[in-house]
Structure formats: C-alpha cells, structure tokens
Homo-oligomer: A and B are copies of this chain.
C-alpha cells in the first residue's frame, strides 16, 4: 500500500498522532497491519480487536503481536469470544483510549454499554461501515452521541472505490468464478441503480449483456434511462432473465413469488447489503430440493425440475466469491488514518457531538496519494487562476454539495 508509505514519508518525522491511543475494531488482515504500523509510525499507540468472527488472518495477528501490537482476535471466534476480545481490547488497567476506529459499530456499542465513562477522554470515533454509520446517526438524532464522529464510509474517494469501481469488476469476477457463465447476449436484471448498481450495469453492458434496471428513486431511475437501460418493475422481466442481481440495500427485494417465476437455470445473487435482499428463507420449504454443486453455489430445484442457481446463499457475492483489490483497501486505510489525524488534532470547537464527513481537503489528499499508481500528472492552478476561481491553490477545490 504505497499510499500509506507516502503518507508516512510526507509526515517527515513529525508525529501527528503523538499521544493518541487508538482502539480499533476492524478486519484483521495484512492491510490492517500496514495501517497499524502507519498509525504507530505517526505516533499512536494501538490496540485492536476483530470486527468479524471469520475474517481474521491468524498469521497476521501473530505477526502483529510479535511486532509488539496488542491484538485480540483469531479466525473462527465464537459469539462469546468475539465480545470477550472486544472487552479485553478496551478494558486494560491503566490504559484509556482517546480515539476509536470502528467498523460496524460493535466496539463503540460495547463502550457505550460497559464503559460509558471512557468517552470523557475520547476525542472522536472514526467509523467506516454503513451499519456503524447508521447507528451513529441514530445516536446523534437521539441526542446521545457524546463525542464527535467521522463517517468515512461516505467520503467521496472511498465510496467510489468501494462501490462503483470495485463492483464494476467484482460482479464479473464473482459470476465467472462461481458459474463460468458467458455474459454475451444474457438478459440480466439489476435491482437498484446506486453506485453498486451503476458499476454492475456498466460492466455487464460492456460484456454484451442486455440489462434491465429496477429502482424506487426517480433520480436514479432517470440516470438509468439516460445510461441506456430499460427501467422496469421486476415482475415485467422476471420470467425472461438469465441473471438477477440485487444491489438495493433493502430487504425482500427478490421474494419467493419472483423465484417461482424465474426460468430454469436463472442465476440469483446479491451485490448489495448483508443477506437481506433475497428471501432465501422462503426457499427452505419441503417441496424444494437444495443441491450444493460447488462452494458458494446451490441449485434449488422445483418439483417440475426447474433449477435456480443461488450464489453464496444470498450473502454478498463480492465478498464471498471474489476478492477486494489491495488498491481499494489502501484507499480505505488511508482515509481512516487521515480521519484519525483530523479528529485528534482538530482545535477545540471545530467538531461538536455530531457525525461529520471527512473534510474535503483530506478526501482530496487521499486521492492525490493514489495518483502515482497510475503515473497520473495533476495540473496546478496558477495564482491568477486560483484568484479567478476564488480557490486556495491546494484545495479544497469543490463546494461541499459537489457530487462528482
């Protein structure tokens, strides 16, 4: 992750996180290790737990421990283990975190529940997941958020890479690895035309599929039209499509009624949120037979012999059957590091007990750290131009409402 390396280098020996005590709860992977080392190089102390019971790479956890980091996690934790690890991570005699880096909100939740007094010394929370951010906004709305929080999930750079750019590739990869389906000429319906849906649609159209879109939001719907996709209701095309992909963030988008009407061989998968979009539970009835044909691939067989091909049991295809490129993880980690630096160093009063987006200038900095990968050469404003535009030459370059 050269961007984090560049970040350390540009710090030039300064320690913007000197004195920071960061307690983190994320996936424990090689990329997280680089993040922890970076935070440490910038002056922070770190203690870490896992945000998921399956995703810990044990060799990474071991290497981090060897390197002197306190890591509480292993692959295959039980539910009890999970909370025990989080508790151990937080609750150390004589150590009090002053920054939280969370992914999903479980760590934050635990401190709220067990150690609310800790918040007195905490300068802020950096949260990177949809779910965790949702929880923070609810706390804020309820007036219960007691420190500033930064929603890095919705920073521009991270969003575009996590969703649009990453899914544009992983939809193809996930489908190929599981089914070897040929995309050319296939009819596909994509439910939802947000960033994920846009990525899926662009990729499949480019590979020669005929793509239909469903939407609830008229603005996204109009975008789908202008991008060349027929906007339909699911029932208009469900009998004819070869592939159904959900990317709505919603629940029960593909229900049994639709599954009953799909044609033989139809592939069904979820690129959106959790495992709620396809009503998989409705398929666990006696008259249907399940046949596991390979890892992550089930044939669900109707009494008349019709099969549908269900991928990853309705969980996220891109996480289950594809990979997240290092480049995308680098953008996330750099965003997290900068959010920690910002919250930790912000002057009194800049942030209140509310949820904030990453300041645009930092968002731009994340992007600029990743341009060298593409040998991309940025143009600089002249003084005269900066004055004409009313901008600082170093950014931020856009108003907050700018949509990219």
Contacts and interface: CB of A to CB of B under 8 A. Distances in A.
A210 B176 CA distance: 23
Contact of A222 (B157, B207, B322): B157
A364 to B, nearest CB: 5
Task: Give how many copies assemble into the complex.
Answer: 4
A322 B176 CA distance: 9
Contacts of A166: 182
A76 interface: no
A383 to B, nearest CB: 12
A250 B382 CA distance: 11
Nearest to A161: B226
A118 interface: no
Contacts of A364: 217-219
A401 interface: yes
Interface of A: 154, 156-157, 159-161, 165-166, 168-169, 172-173, 176-177, 180-185, 187, 203, 205-210, 214-234, 236, 240, 249-252, 276, 322-323, 325-328, 357, 363-365, 367-368, 370-371, 373-382, 384-385, 388-389, 395, 397-398, 400-401, 403-404
A376 B231 contact: yes
Nearest to A172: B172
B180 A323 contact: yes
A365 B219 CA distance: 8
Closest 9 pairs (CB-CB, A-B): A206-B206, A231-B376, A218-B368, A185-B225, A218-B367, A184-B226, A182-B325, A217-B397, A403-B403
